[in-house]
Amino acid sequence: MEFKKCDRCGCFFISEDNVCCNCKPKDRADTIKLHNFIEENGSAYSIEEISASTGITIKNLSRFGEIQNINGITEKREFKFNTNIEL
């Protein structure tokens, strides 16, 4: 456990995660939204286009996938909360 700064709101917290407990549900909702978008539309979109369609900020999209090239997302990496999604 270490002292961290939340990637979303900037507050300090102690956790294994990259966001504080207030932001975790928001991050999770955004991640699910992103998954759904890619599942429905594929990943051949720019970050800007995905941001406009999903309402997820570009900053957060970048965090989720560390996106250099959004086209590579689905092949290259699992999203952070992928394994925790329970719908």
- Interface with Zn ion (CB under 5 A): 6, 8-9, 20, 23
Q: Which is nearer to Zn ion, 8 or 63 (CB)?
A: 8
Smallest separation (angstroms) from Zn ion to the CB of 4: 10
Q: Which is nearer to Zn ion, 7 or 53 (CB)?
A: 7
Smallest separation (angstroms) from Zn ion to the CB of 87: 23
Q: Is 66 left (phi over 0), alpha (psi -120 to 50) or beta?
A: left
Smallest separation (angstroms) from Zn ion to the CB of 69: 27
Q: Do residues 74 and 38 touch, judged by C-beta distance below 8 A?
A: yes
